[in-house]
Chains A and B, each alone.
Chain A
Amino acid sequence: MEGEPSPRSGACFHQGSFPRAVNVDLQTDATLQVDISDALSERDKVKFTVHTKSTLPNFKQNEFSVVRQHEEFIWLHDSFVENEEYAGYIIPPAPPRPDFDASREKLQKLGEGEGSMTKEEFTKMKQELEAEYLAIFKKTVAMHEVFLCRVAAHPVLRKDMNFHVFLEYNQDLSVRGKNKREKMEDFFKNVVKSADGVLVAGVKDVDDFFEHEKTFLLEYHNRVKDASSKSDRMIRSHKSAADDINRIASTLYTLGTQDSTDVCKFFLKVSELFEKTRKIEARVAADEDLKLADLLKYYLRESQAAKDLLYRRGRALVDYENANKALDKARAKNKDVLQAETSQQVCCQKFEKISESAKQELIDFKTRRVAAFRKNLVELAELELKHAKGNLQLLQSCVGVLKGDT
């Protein structure tokens, strides 16, 4: 498709080339399988090809694909949130907006500074920036896919009408992004909600399970936030150090070619070594990013979604208690008793429905969380080991060669 000249437009991926939903341990089920089989990056949007395989009767075909953009994912997510029926479930967190700004800026700066560096340096840096762009691209695809898979795996949400339309309707859903006014409305809604949330959270729950979950989630959410930002910083420093090694390797190479003495061999060999170790260091940073930082970021969003569930339940509880009080008052005054009774019934039902599903959801959340952490921590350790061993081997062989030369 068309796209701008730089950064890579039309980055295409095909089936199976994406990391599978890395952060969640989901049982995929033959009745409904969803994945993102392809994606294209254009000027300021990414087009995802959502591919569905299903044996469910409500779909016209067994296998089909549509093209969706980020706004359409957000629309779907918001429709879940706004649906009262789903108040008792943890709504899978929406994928973050694809953000290539930083990467694009860097590529632009590189283009501007082209004159000031040698051809090799320029090509090298360009390659790296392109690789970075690619990595961000892959990540955003993975995150959108995870969202869809979570929905597909959820026993209730997977049946949602909007979800089916999202998967099947092969025209543009005409979902426009929120305009300014709507964004302002959202902002105020959030303010009100957080204030309310504080109030609601202050109400002590009779149920121990929920009381414990409330305290736990609050603390956990904050700590995950902190860990996520610290891990990001750590990984950034790691990348900077790898970049420095790159520059050192280049200068050593120049020194090696210029030098007429014995030591030129050393310079050249070490330059070569550093080129390789730098690549490994960059990979270490990338893997840490994927296995650690992304994991933490995802659970930041999920724990927020769980908090939201608790908030809705708390709200329903408060409403229920208020309805009870209203009913008592009505009975005392013997006025509008029937109305009060109905209203109280409704609140009671709502509250009990939410409580029932919420309990299961929170238990599932814990199971998923533990599984995801286990998987990622194990993979992180294995990758760190793999890279360290690779590095070690390169270093040792170089030292051996150099020592043999002296």
Chain B
Amino acid sequence: MAAEMEPPPLGDAGQTDFREIEDGEGFFVSTVTILESPEPSSPDPPSMPAEGISTNGPKQEDISLDDDPEDLFAEATEEVSLDSPEREPILSDGPSPAITPVTPTAMLTPRMGLGTAEMFERSLDELEEDESGDTFDMHIAVSDPEKVGDGMNAYMGYKVTTKTSMTIFSKNETTVRRRFSDFLGLHSKLASRYLHIGYIVPPAPEKSIVGMTKVKVGKEDLSSAEFVEKRRSALERYLMRTVKHPILLKDPDVMMFLESSELPRAVSTQALSGAGILRMVNKAADAVNKMTIKMNESDAWFEEKHQQFENLDLQLRKLHASVECLVCHRKELSVNTASFAKSAAMLGNSEDHTALSRALSQLAEVEEKIDQLHQDQAYADFYLFSELLGDYVRLITAVKGVFDHRMKTWSKWQDTQLLLQKKREAESKLQFANKPDKLQQAQDEIKEEIEELEGKVQQGEKDFELISKTIRKEVSRFEKERVKDFKVVIIKYLESLVQTQQQLIKYWEAFLPEAKAIA
């Protein structure tokens, strides 16, 4: 059933931005939102401009034409920008309490000495107690990235291991292999199902053409290793956040994703597909609509929360930018320290006073160790702090999206009400019409319409109340998670700083007697 949700991927038309989108872009950038139309049950989306195929049906498996040419763009299209509240992009449900920090994989060169690996160990003891009293006991690991295939058709496969004691899962431990587009596909399904009724669906990690192309092309350098590691870590966090949401956890697509060994290719996640075009069009339409909806907010809570999230968004983005600067400068510091170390060693070599020469060589060694220290700290800065902030910036975009949906629901309800009123007026006008033969028929028609509309109005009101209630619950859950997340990460980050200082002390303490020994 879930498979039917995917409109088939179509040829590539429209614009694509072949660069990594980090921050919000305008609506017309080719952000591929992995969303389809909000109503799962609605009929086919309007025919694709690009190609003739336009069904919402389960034909995707038949479209094999996308497999090869599409592969070029499979991983290479942009994820939704951070600024797209309209379409349900990457939304978050309750964010997970434990930020699962990165465990350095074997792909990374062993620059992780000094026990920093322990710093990043997943905190397995972070369990979450669900409100209803069930213990949440689940642990997902994404590991072993492996390149499959060659050239531009290659992709990264990841191993997803689920360990759980929960009864809804058939096994205690399952391992499957998934690729990036599978994750996007999962998110796309969840988003289309839950976002419009007010659930905060966690956003999936962003696509990156530059990064993936490097990997495809087979560059075995540090930057592509870093890219893969960054992505692996992001995928892990994404899955953990998703399953921590009690509703999403029970979604059949989630279970299928975690358990079934074969998954149908999620091809509608590609930017340049017909679905992609549709998404862009819808996004534009939504943008316009958002501007024209003027909601009478009767609930001060929503007003307040909306403002709060706006403020939080602003500050988090600022913080994120500053932390990224810090990461950059620390990496630079590490490089410069290493280069100074070499220079000091050379100086020591040419110094003809033996004791001084030795001391200078020692200085060079100390500086070399310190450069490593800076590198590790930059790593911590990034994976602990910066990525958390990035995740939350995207999550808040999702939250804002959910608020927007509420607005849309309200608007729909109001529109229906207006329509009902018009019909009623039309009905009363009919009383004074002077065509008795047509009168009865017209009256009956109108009565039918009015009944239907009354039903719709009631439904609209119920929908609105439901979404409001859901959002309240979701926001409170989100806030709880956010507090937990930040607390945990802040402490972890400070501990990384502590460790760096302790190491520094060790190094300088070892050097001091050498310096004093210069006679």
Q: List residues of A whose CB falls within 8 A of some B CB.
A: 216, 219-220, 223-224, 226-227, 230-231, 233-234, 236-238, 240-241, 244-245, 247-248, 251-252, 254-255, 258-263, 266, 270, 273, 277, 366, 369-370, 373-374, 377-378, 380-382, 384-385, 388-389, 391-392, 395-396, 398-399, 402-403, 406
Q: Which residue of B lies closest to A398 (CB)?
A: B494
B343 touches A230 (CB 8 A): yes
* 16 new A-B contacts at CB < 8 Å, known A227-B340, A251-B319, A263-B486: A223-B347, A224-B347, A230-B343, A244-B329, A369-B356, A374-B515, A374-B516, A380-B515, A381-B511, A381-B515, A384-B504, A388-B508, A389-B505, A391-B501, A392-B498, A395-B497
> How many whole Å from A377's CB to the nearest CB in chain B?
4
> How many whole Å from B412's CB to the nearest CB in chain A?
32
Which residues of A sit under 8 angstroms from B350, Cβ to Cβ?
A: 216, 219-220, 223
B333 touches A234 (CB 8 A): yes
Q: How far is the CA of A234 from the CA of B340 in the complex (A)?
A: 7
With A237-B333, A377-B363 known to touch, is A399 a contact of B498 (CB < 8 Å)?
A: yes
Q: Which residue of A lies closest to B342 (CB)?
A: A230
Q: How far is the CA of A220 from the CA of B360 in the complex (A)?
A: 13
Whether B311 sits at the interface, judged by CB under 8 Å, is: yes
A377 touches B359 (CB 8 A): yes
17 pairs across A/B with beta carbons < 8 Å? A231-B343, A234-B339, A234-B340, A244-B323, A244-B329, A251-B315, A255-B312, A258-B312, A366-B352, A369-B356, A370-B356, A373-B359, A374-B515, A381-B511, A388-B501, A388-B504, A395-B497
With A220-B351, A234-B336 known to touch, is A382 a contact of B512 (CB < 8 Å)?
A: yes
A377 touches B352 (CB 8 A): no
- Binding site secondary structure of chain B: helix
Question: Which of A230, A238, A259, A273 has the largest count of B CB atoms less than 10 A from its CB?
Answer: A230
Whether B179 sits at the interface, judged by CB under 8 Å, is: no
Which residues of B sit under 8 angstroms from A385, Cβ to Cβ?
A: 505, 508-509, 512
Per-position binary interface string of chain B over residues 478-519, scored 1 when its CB falls under 8 Å from any chain A CB and 0 otherwise = 010011001100110011011001101100110110011010
A373 touches B494 (CB 8 A): no
Q: How far is the CA of A282 from the CA of B494 in the complex (A)?
A: 19
Minimum-distance CB pairs A-B, first 7: A237-B333, A244-B326, A374-B518, A377-B515, A230-B340, A392-B501, A234-B336
Q: List residues of B whose CB falls within 8 A of some A CB.
A: 308, 311-312, 315-316, 318-319, 322-323, 325-326, 329-330, 332-333, 336-337, 339-340, 342-344, 346-347, 349-353, 355-356, 359-360, 363, 479, 482-483, 486-487, 490-491, 494-495, 497-498, 501-502, 504-505, 508-509, 511-512, 515-516, 518
Q: Which residue of B lies closest to A296 (CB)?
A: B347
Contact of A384 among B316, B326, B508 (CB under 8 A): B508
Q: How far is the CA of A277 from the CA of B322 in the complex (A)?
A: 16
Which residues of A sit under 8 angstroms from B336, Cβ to Cβ?
A: 230, 233-234, 236-237
Q: How far is the CA of A384 from the CA of B373 in the complex (A)?
A: 15
A233 touches B339 (CB 8 A): yes
A227 touches B505 (CB 8 A): no
Q: How far is the CA of A238 from the CA of B347 in the complex (A)?
A: 22
Q: Which residue of A lies closest to B363 (CB)?
A: A377
Q: How far is the CA of A398 from the CA of B494 in the complex (A)?
A: 8
> How many whole Å from A258's CB to the nearest CB in chain B?
5
> How many whole Å from B478's CB to the nearest CB in chain A?
11
B516 touches A378 (CB 8 A): yes
Q: How far is the CA of A263 from the CA of B355 in the complex (A)?
A: 53
Q: How far is the CA of A244 from the CA of B386 in the complex (A)?
A: 13
With A258-B315, A385-B508 known to touch, is A373 a contact of B343 (CB < 8 Å)?
A: no
Which residues of B sit under 8 angstroms from A252, Cβ to Cβ?
A: 319
Q: How far is the CA of A398 from the CA of B516 in the complex (A)?
A: 34
B487 touches A263 (CB 8 A): yes
Which residues of A sit under 8 angstroms from B511, Cβ to Cβ?
A: 381
> How many whole Å from B493's CB to the nearest CB in chain A?
9
Q: How far is the CA of A259 from the CA of B337 in the complex (A)?
A: 39
A231 touches B518 (CB 8 A): no
Which residues of B sit under 8 angstroms from A392, Cβ to Cβ?
A: 498, 501-502, 505
B325 touches A247 (CB 8 A): yes
Q: How far is the CA of A399 from the CA of B493 in the complex (A)?
A: 10
Q: How far is the CA of A103 from the CA of B360 in the complex (A)?
A: 32
B346 touches A227 (CB 8 A): yes
Q: Which residue of B lies closest to A405 (CB)?
A: B487
Which residues of A sit under 8 angstroms from B330, Cβ to Cβ?
A: 241
> How many whole Å from B167's CB to the nearest CB in chain A?
31
Which residues of B sit under 8 angstroms from A216, Cβ to Cβ?
A: 350, 352
> How many whole Å from A234's CB to the nearest CB in chain B?
4
Which residues of B sit under 8 angstroms from A381, Cβ to Cβ?
A: 508, 511-512, 515
Q: How far is the CA of A230 from the CA of B340 in the complex (A)?
A: 5
With A260-B308, A373-B356 known to touch, is A240 a contact of B329 (CB < 8 Å)?
A: yes
